[in-house]
Amino acid sequence: MDALKPQRNEPARMEKLAKLPVFWGLEGKRVVLVGGSDGAAWKAELLLACGAEVHVYCAKDDLSETFAALIEKSPTLSFHDQAWHAGIFENAELALADCETNVEAHAFYSAARTAGVPVNVIDKPEFCQFQFGSIVNRSPVVVSISTDGAAPILAQAIRRRIETTLPLALKDWGALAQTIRERVNLRLAPGSARRFFWEKFVDRAFTERLDEGGEERIFADIGMQAGRTGSTRGLVTLVGAGPGDAELLTLKAVRALQAADVILFDDLVSAEVLELARREAKRMLVGKRGGRESCKQEDINEMMIRLAKAGKRVVRLKSGDPMIFGRAGEEIAALEAENIPVEVVPGITAASAMASRLGVSLTHRDHAQSVRFVTGHSRQGKLPENIDWKTLSDPAVTTVFYMGGRTAAEIESSLLAHGMPAATPVAVMISVSRANEQRWCGSLAQLAAAVARLGVNEPVLIGIGDAFGAASSAFAGASAQEQITKAIQKAG
């Protein structure tokens, strides 16, 4: 089982944070606020929404119309028509101020620190122990976004994005979760049964409105199922991680990663994808990669079976789509033979990502009537012996070779030998969708030499057929312009 030991450094479970996000309970707490501007009024409104008892210190003549109206209608806001002094910090939970000058800000900051009260001076980060984020309010579900003061407009844009994805009904579901939590804990045992309930609960929260009688309906629909799951047997989910870009993951894939107890991941799965996984999940590298020491498939199957029988929720995380050259069939058969539930979450396969990155359609009706995915790497480390080269040699058939870097020369010679024109367009992409992506476009006669120049240490994808003609033309034009630019720079 030595092959199952990590072969690379795993990404940190938590990357460096500019600030620690903390949600602070202020119900019934005394908070002091100095200043009468519109900015101070907005902070007062936030504090009041949290149930704080806000004490405002400011000359009445300095109050903005907005703040004056807020004071008029807020019974838990106490207005003090006077300047602040050191005594206002007694029994205060937080202290905030809107100061015009740095001298005044420094004085307020120092006084609050001396009193041991956390302090924030509005729009002066150097005098802030804590900061306010941009808020998405579905209370009790609250999302706060911070850019550490670097780009408030970016934080607002992120908030708008989140606002569009979180249904307003989430507020009601969050309140229901608070109401029924104790009942769930009494009714369902810790472990898989309880987690099953909450996962199904969350699925409904994002897709349904909560109506009257929702609590009893939830228990009737989900509670009984959860009670039957027990904790003696887990589940294995084969998840497609896509070509590498974490933004290409499906929502279902992210939910599976967030629910996993153990993640068995391939060597080609990117750190950005793993970053989306549940923090508490154990991560184990079990990947296979051409030209490197690999885990045996039998060992991976045995590990999934053993973990599932121990009641674990296992995610088998595969690069691309698990059902395309991912040995999913072998793994599914092994799991089903042991009566272990298995689910599959498809991912974006490398060929689709390649087509997207090149801006070509693999089945453009003017160029291709069919598309085929062919492995360029068999169990023996070479091209499979049963490839129908005659059929693949038709330029109107789009063919994408996976893992074909080390067999590129044989692919070229075999297609030429079976009548494919030497000028047939070819595209080669390495590490598609990743930061180190490389691409080359040309003709079939140039394929082997191009791959030799690019190298085969990273995943190589080879697309062949008339569908890649537009990409080849664009690449040739870009290369020519690059040569002209270099010549001008050299002459200069």
Question: Would you say the C-alpha torsion 354, 359, 361, 364 has a positive or negative sign?
Answer: negative
- Active site annotation includes 19: no
Going by the DSSP 8-state scheme, the letter that residue 62 receives in this structure is: G
Classify the phi-psi angles of 215: left when phi > 0, otherwise alpha if psi is within -120 to 50, otherwise beta: alpha
Give yes or no for a contact between 43 and 63, defined as CB atoms under 8 angstroms apart.
no
Q: Which residue has the tokens 């060597």?
A: 267
- Active site annotation includes 288: yes
Q: Which of 252, 288, 299, 309 is catalytic?
A: 288
Helix (H, G, I), strand (E, B) or coil at 252: helix
Cα(341)–Cα(154) distance, rounded to whole angstroms?
43
CA of residue 449 relative to chain centroid, distance: 37
Length of the chain: 492
Cα(347)–Cα(208) distance, rounded to whole angstroms?
26
Using a CB cutoff of 8 Å and minimum separation of 24, what contacts does 416-421 make? 416/444, 416/445, 417/389, 418/389, 418/390, 418/392, 418/393, 419/390, 419/393, 420/392, 420/393, 420/394, 420/395, 420/444, 420/464, 421/395
Q: Which of 266, 321, 394, 466 is catalytic?
A: 266
Cα(269)–Cα(285) distance, rounded to whole angstroms?
10
Going by the DSSP 8-state scheme, the letter that residue 128 receives in this structure is: B
Helix (H, G, I), strand (E, B) or coil at 413: helix
Cα(112)–Cα(29) distance, rounded to whole angstroms?
16
Cα(142)–Cα(136) distance, rounded to whole angstroms?
6
- Which residues participate in catalysis according to the annotation? 266, 288
